[in-house]
Amino acid sequence: MKQGVTIDAAAIAAKVNAHLATSAGQKKVEDAVSRTMQTGGVGVHTPEEAAEKFIGVLQAAIQDSGLSANAAGAISDLDHTSAAGYKDINGTFKYTVRVYFTGDLSRPSLDEARYGGIDDLAELFDTGVDHQMRAVHGVWHGHETWSRTVIPGAHFIDAAISDFMGNYSTDYNVINITVDRG
C-alpha cells in the first residue's frame, strides 16, 4: 500500500452507494436477490415457501376452530398465486402472500340474498351469520329439523393471519397476507 493513502469504511460505503445508484448497480442487486429467492439461500425463503407455510398455518387454524371434521374438510383445499413484492431501503425483498380456497364452496342452501351476501362455506364458517328471518322446518333423514338463523363465526382466517404474522413474517419477509374465497 502506498504511504499517505488511507481507506476507511465511509469511503468504501460512498463508492458502493454511488455504484448502487447506477442502473448497472441496481441490475446486479436485482439479479442477486432473484437468484437468492429462487435458490432459497441461507436464511431466505421464496414466496412459494412462505405461501405454503401460511397454507399450513391456515389449515391448522381451520382444524382447531371447532368445526366438524366434514365442515373443516370442505374448506381445507387451498392454493396460492405468485407473490407481489418490493425491495425495501435495505434491499430486502418483501412481499404479500395471496392464498385462495380451491374447493367447491357453493351450496344450494347458501342463497346470497338470504344470508346478507354470504354465498360460500368458507365465509359462512369464518364470519358466521346472525340474520332475521323466519326459521323453516322440515323432515331430514327421518327427523324433524329447523333451520338455523344464527351461526357463530370461527374466525380462523384472522387467527391464521395473526399467528403467521406474529411468528413467521420476519423469517419469510412477508408484509401482508390476502385470503380470497372461491
Same domain, 58 and 39: no
Q: Quote the pLDDT of residue 55.
A: 95
Same domain, 101 and 67: yes
Same domain, 86 and 133: yes
Range of the domain at 26: 1-44
Instruction: Record the cell numbers describing residue 110, joined without a space.
Output: 347458501
Q: Quote the pLDDT of residue 42.
A: 45
Q: What percent of the chain has pLDDT over 90?
A: 23
Same domain, 77 and 157: yes
CA torsion through residues 129, 130, 132, 136, sign? positive
Same domain, 61 and 25: no
Same domain, 28 and 86: no
Confidence of residue 9 (pLDDT cuts 50, 70, 90): low
Least confident of 45-59, 93-107, 118-132: 118-132
Same domain, 14 and 97: no
pTM of the model: 0.65
Domain count, the chain: 2
